[in-house]
Amino acid sequence: METEVKLTKLASCAGCGAKVGAGTLVRMLEGFRTHQDPRLLVGYDKSDDASVYVLDDQRALVQTTDFFPPIVDDPFLYGQIAAANAMSDVYAMGGEPKLALNILCVPEKMEAAAVQEILRGGYDKAYEAGVIITGGHTIHGAEPIYGLAVSGFVHPKKVLTNGGARPGDVLILSKPLGIGVLTTAAKAGMVEQPVLDRIYRQMAALNKAARDVMTGYEVHSCTDVTGFGLLGHSFEMAQGSGCTIHIQSAQVPFHPEAYLMAQMGFIPAGAYRNRGYAEAGVAVRGQVSRAVQDLFYDPQTSGGLLMAMPEDQGLECLKALQQAAPGAAMIGYVTQRGDSWICLE
């Protein structure tokens, strides 16, 4: 749908690039009183993708929320991407999303037709995922914001967290990087439409297929690579697991056009926040260019799943995964804790 006012022009930040830095969040939450409950398997203190609360021996409730300003101008596509991104956290925990609530902020002068298209995009993607949107909340504000609060279910003994990686594991990433760089460059008219169409399809793609594949293997840890970038989320996985994560830079998939744009300096502000958060824990062991490093810190919107699993299952899982996510690749491995949390090789 064409709109008279470009949605991305109404937003100061785009997509998951608007996410508050991880280090800032940790400081903000320090010292808060919270209730303790043995049924709460995963809470906000774990720096994980969603909370998990045990209901009974067979079911645990998975809850998350995610929303952001427009990353594309088409309101229907924006709704699809925002919904896919919100549901991704449940998939990253190994769960199945079931219910959702709309979270919507719209400028008072925004056309009703555009607002309806945003919502239609969200409902369309929720329907594809088998999720029921049961209501929500809408307010007026300075710029558009859309997303979902999502509830799902997972078996209590099959919960995947970002703190379960083990020495000897290999790492698989299901979607290529470069979204933040390319959408930043697109604002300057530097990206051709076929490239934009490709990354739009990627952002709108659910991580359901990747989840379906990985749950057939002995996955030890999983997270989705979104606002904190590959290195930010890998940093959290390494700390949560008490291990060192080795990223084999030459194996990491990214859109080639994003590399060219990164060389030209089209780096979103979120990438600098991510670098400030994780860089102290990253040791660069090989010849890894600044542009490639920028792609690894680049905030991704509706990015792929990063999973850690035993080496003897990695190749078989990757082969199966590539049928559903052709851009998937094995990008590294896990060792005992060394001098740094992450080694770029």
CA 288 to chain centre: 23
pLDDT of residue 95: 97
Phi and psi at 13, nearest 5°, equal -130, 160
pLDDT of residue 120: 98
pLDDT of residue 336: 97
pLDDT of residue 3: 45
pLDDT of residue 296: 98
Strands (E), 216-337: 221-224, 243-247, 282-284, 305-310, 329-336
What are the residue ranges spanned by the domains of the chain? 7-158, 169-344
Helices and strands per DSSP (H, E), number in the chain: 11, 13
pLDDT of residue 153: 98
CA distance 299 to 91: 19
Low-confidence stretches of the chain (pLDDT beneath 50): 1-3, 15-16
CA distance 143 to 95: 32
Judge: domain 7-158, CATH 3.90.950.10: no
pLDDT of residue 80: 98
pLDDT of residue 194: 97
Q: Tell me the fold of 169-344.
A: Phosphoribosyl-aminoimidazole Synthetase; Chain A, domain 2 (3.90.650)
pLDDT of residue 33: 77
**Residues with a known catalytic role:** 16
pLDDT of residue 10: 59
pLDDT of residue 253: 97
Distances (CA, A) of 175 to 55, 133, 246: 32, 26, 18
